[in-house]
A and B are shown apart, each in its own frame.
Chain A
Amino acid sequence: MYVAVKGGERAIENAHRLLANARRGDQSVAEVSLDQISEQLGLAVDRVMSEGSLYDRELAALAIKQARGDLIEAIFLVRAFRATLPRFGTSEPVNTGAMRVQRRVSATFKDIPGGQILGPTFDYTHRLLDPSLGQGFVPEAPATAEASTAPTPRVTDILGRDGLIESSPQAEDGASVGDLTREPLNFPADRDLRLQNLARGDEGFLLAMGYSTQRGYGRNHPFVGEIRFGEVEVEFFAEDVGFAVPLGSIELTECQMVNQFKGSATEAPCFTRGYGLAFGQSERKTMSMALVDRALRARELGEEALAPAQDEEFVMSHSDNVQATGFVEHLKLPHYVDFQSELGLLRKLRKEFADANAPDAMKEAAE
């Protein structure tokens, strides 16, 4: 028999009212604005856009505010919002080679055309807490230098010219691009689906998976060929217009990982690659993504796949923090009936155990 239990409406309503107050905090302290979140907590906004899989700074800032800074909750809110909008179509693939770079470094070549450009980075800071930031800090204006007009080709394109690195796989004619927001995931999954999954995957999960390959669980000897961050133009083929229209620009981070070589009887040895791409300035995310992308190519490259990071079903099924948090956090919702049946079973087992272990004398006495 199924017994519906009602109640708790008032408690829920009041709990949400209390939440709204807890979110606002002490009302004698100024309220944080969406602009402030977007401008001053920019990397949190970038993460929510990446893992929420929706490029919209203002929405991501709103989600962060609504979620009280809980980024996974914010990502959940953004994912739920995107489900309410119609999709107009797909963009032309962005050209990261034409990026207006604001940061671009290579750990493999010192002298790259266009140079090593540090941009706004935490690298080389001392990680000492700065008390002046707590007291109305006004930064010195940025230094300027004459802007270079030299192109900044992708480092992998330079290596590719000598055949030292494998070239990127090209699409077969008429091949469709997999979209895991439209079709359920099936295994084995192709690289397009894997990259989509990783691009919206949890940064912490990918970081741990990438780290595990460095520690020997699916080692693939990575070097950062290049990390670049900057603006790329987005174009969209609009059917009503009849040609690709410009939509504006977005900020992206790209990581090209260069990994240990492979070769065969018919192919000269060359470096292999892993790729990472994410919204905003998301370096840790794209580096981790590139490590995991490369690890997941084990099957294709004829490597023994024994480590977790090389297991695409394991990685792709557990990378999504909205799915993960949904399943983990549902455990705190009422399971009274489930638990009652478990409790009933346990009592029965304990009684059987007690009966079986009772001393014979007791049994006789009982009879």
Chain B
Amino acid sequence: MAVLAHAEAGEIAARLRNLAVPAHQDLREPESGLVMLRGRVGGDGAPFNLGEATVSRAAIRLASGEVGFGYTLGRDGEKARLIALCDALVQSKDFGATVERDIIAPLREQLMVRRKQVAEETAATKVDFYTMVRGEG
């Protein structure tokens, strides 16, 4: 589900369109709120409150009974609903494999490509130290 939280709502929606989505209903209407983000003293010590972030959430139940939850940073309630729908679908035996193959896997691939690009650009700024020889040889 982490992959979906990193994707744009439009990307998830576009891939869901190719799927005959079964009947479902909102268990929790999409809503936006706050989550207090915590850090740790010194990076690895006792927790402290760093500041809040906007978060959206939703829950969905398929007609076949599977319940899915969607949580994501930001105020896009529709994205939370799409994540909840995918979460419900991956649990269903009729749709699980398809959702993994046609929605989650390609989005994961896309995320990895983006991260690799950033990592390669970052790597080019790594310092290679060399020693200057002083005086005459």
Cβ of B36: which chain A residues have Cβ within 8 Å of it?
87, 89-91, 179
In the complex, are the beta carbons of A234 and B37 less than 8 A apart? yes
Interface size on A, residues (CB 8 A): 81
Contact check: which of B32, B69, B126 meets A115 at CB < 8 Å? Answer: B126
* Given contact pairs A55-B37, A88-B57, A275 touches B51 in the complex (Cβ within 8 A): no
Please pick, from B1, B37, B126, the residue contacting A145 in the complex, using a CB distance under 8 A. Answer: B126
A56-B74 CB under 8 A given contacts A147-B116, A177-B38: yes
B94 proximity list for chain A (CB < 8 A) = none
Complex contact B1–A245 (CB within 8 A): yes
- Distance between Cα atoms of A103 and B75 in the complex (Å): 28
Q: Which B103-137 residues have a C-beta within 8 angstroms of A?
A: 115-127, 129
Collect the chain B residues with CB atoms within 8 Å of residue A147's CB.
116, 119-120, 122-123
Q: Distance (Å) between the CB of A152 and the closest chain B CB? A: 11
Contact between B116 and A87, CB atoms less than 8 A apart: no
| Known contacts A102-B118, A116-B126, A147-B123: A192-B41 contact under CB 8 Å | yes
B33 touches A93 (CB 8 A): no
Interface size on B, residues (CB 8 A): 51
Q: Closest CB of chain B to A218's CB: distance in Å?
A: 20
In this assembly, does B54 line the interface, its C-beta being within 8 Å of a C-beta of chain A?
yes
Q: Please, how many angstroms separate the alpha-carbon atoms of A328 and B77 in the complex?
A: 39
Stretch at the interface among A22-30, A205-213, A246-254: A246-254
B119: chain A residues within 8 A (beta carbon):
100, 147-148
CA distance A147 to B116 in the complex (A): 7
A102 to chain B: closest residue by CB: B122
Q: Which residues of A contact B34 (CB under 8 A)?
A: 54, 82, 85-88
Nearest residue (CB) in B for A86 is: B33
With a cutoff of 8 Å between Cβ atoms, the chain A residues found around residue B40 in the complex are 93-94, 96, 168
Cα A101 to Cα B43 in complex, Å, equals 14
B90 within 8 A of A: no
A81 to B, closest residue via Cβ: B54
Whether A97 pairs with B126 at a CB distance below 8 angstroms is: no
- Smallest distance from the beta carbon of A194 to chain B beta carbons, Å? 8
For residue B97, give the distance in angstroms from its CB to the closest CB of chain A.
22
User: Is B53 among interface residues, defined by CB-CB distance under 8 A?
Assistant: yes
How far is B129's CA from A241's CA once the two chains are assembled, in angstroms? 50
For the complex, give the distance between the alpha carbons of A154 and B39 in Å: 15
Contact A144 B121 (CB under 8 A): yes
A286 to chain B, nearest CB (A): 11
Say yes or no: is A156 at the interface (Cβ < 8 Å to chain B).
Answer: yes
* Segment of A125-133, A195-203, A312-320, A331-339 in the binding face: A195-203
Q: Is the CB of B33 within 8 A of A87?
A: yes
User: Is B35's CB under 8 angstroms from A91's CB?
Assistant: yes
Q: Is the Cβ of B125 less than 8 Å from the Cβ of A144?
A: no
Given contact pairs A156-B42, A168-B43, A192-B41, A236 touches B55 in the complex (Cβ within 8 A): yes
Chain A nearest CB, measured from B44 CB (Å): 5
Q: Is there contact, CB below 8 Å, between B49 and A177?
A: yes
Check if B54 sits within 8 Å of A54, measured CB to CB: yes
> Does A59 make an interface contact (CB < 8 A)?
yes
23 contacts between A and B (CB under 8 A): A53-B51, A55-B73, A86-B33, A87-B36, A93-B40, A101-B122, A102-B118, A115-B127, A117-B127, A143-B125, A144-B117, A145-B120, A146-B120, A148-B126, A154-B44, A167-B42, A167-B45, A168-B43, A171-B45, A192-B41, A234-B73, A254-B43, A273-B42
- Interface pairs A-B: 7 shortest CB-CB: A168-B45, A168-B42, A147-B119, A171-B46, A55-B53, A246-B2, A192-B48
Q: A196-B49, A199-B50, A247-B53 are in contact. List 9 more A-B contacts (CB 8 A).
A: A59-B54, A85-B54, A94-B50, A102-B118, A143-B121, A167-B42, A234-B35, A240-B69, A275-B42
Identify the B interface with A (CB < 8 A).
1-2, 5-6, 28, 32-55, 57, 59, 69, 71-75, 115-127, 129
